[in-house]
Amino acid sequence: MGWGPAIGVADPVGSALNMFVQQRFHPIFAFLFGVSFALLLRSAAGRVARPRVLLLRRLLALFS
């Protein structure tokens, strides 16, 4: 690490592109992740007695 200019000052076009295009992926991904949970719970409600247990089991498998 040196005493050079900040990244946004050295490359303003690249920083703007990063902020408005590449960082836009995270909220979209989070929204779609939540929608998939809602769809899973809705479809599991007709098949199993406790759909939240099914969701919890899938989350544990996903994050383990």
pLDDT along the chain (64 residues), means of 10: 57 78 82 93 92 91 87
- pLDDT at position 57: 92
Closest to 24 in 3D by CA, of 35, 16, 36: 16
Residue 17: in which H helix or E strand, if any?
helix 12-17
Pair 63, 57: CB distance under 8 Å: no
- pLDDT at position 9: 63
**How many CB atoms neighbour CB 32 within 10 A?**
10
Task: Provide CB contacts within 8 A for 44, sequence distance 6+.
Answer: 51, 54, 55
pTM of the model: 0.57
